[in-house]
Amino acid sequence: MPVVHMRIDNRLIHGQVTVTWASHLSADHMIVCNDKVAKDPIQKMMLPAAARGVKTSVLSVADTLAYCASPEAEKERIFIIAKFPSDALALLDGGLKPQEINVGNQAPIPGTKFVMVTRTCAVTKEDAAIYREIANRGYELTGRMVPSDAKSNFIEVLTKKGL
């Protein structure tokens, strides 16, 4: 499966994703992956428009896995934007093998007990457990806003913040 990068970012498609990440990765297909977003007709219309000309799909976890296993996907450089760490873990559980996984923005979700582990990343204890599970599967989980930022070990960031 030709997934060159997976970014965990609950803001989904925004300027950093379209301008810097997609071009840095030479991605020719962005897939937004989240079951709820995939059922929302407004987001399915607006997210591809925000992608500024890069082929964009808004898919459920199951549909993302099916697409990435398809012959069509073999010809592409796919960049997946998983809304939550649980989406990323579900993709890994389904057999997806991205070349790299990066934690981007995780805006605080009202009503949750979160810790701001970076200036733009809110993490709950449940999220921290999922990030650790991803790392336990052999992935170096990095934290970067844009490709030019130095890579930080996201698990070390969590540990320093007591998660």
Q: Which amino acid is at 130?
A: I
Residue 50 pLDDT level (bands cut at 50, 70, 90)? confident
Residue 65 pLDDT level (bands cut at 50, 70, 90)? very high
148 by Cβ neighbours in 10 Å (0-12 / 13-18 / 19+) ranks as: exposed
Residue 2 pLDDT level (bands cut at 50, 70, 90)? confident
DSSP character string of the chain: --EEEEEE-TT-S-HIIIIIIHHHTT-SEEEEE-HHHHT-HHHHHHHHHHTTTSEEEEE-HHHHHHHHTSTTGGGS-EEEEESSHHHHHHHHHTT---S-EEE--BPPPTTS-EEEEETTEEEEHHHHHHHHHHHHTT--EEE-SSTTSPPEEHHHHHHHTT-
CA distance 153 to 155: 6
Q: What is the mean pLDDT of residues 34-44?
A: 97
Residue 53 pLDDT level (bands cut at 50, 70, 90)? confident
Residue 14 pLDDT level (bands cut at 50, 70, 90)? confident
Q: Where are the domains of the chain?
A: 3-104+138-150
Return mean pLDDT, the chain.
94
What percentage of the chain reaches a pLDDT higher than 70? Answer: 99
More confident residue, 15 or 155: 155
pLDDT at 51: 85
Of the candidate CATH numbers 3.20.20.140, 3.40.35.10, 1.10.10.60, 3.40.1360.10, the domain formed by 3-104+138-150 belongs to 3.40.35.10
Residue-wise pLDDT tens digits, 81-122: 999 999 999 999 999 999 999 999 999 999 999 999 999 999
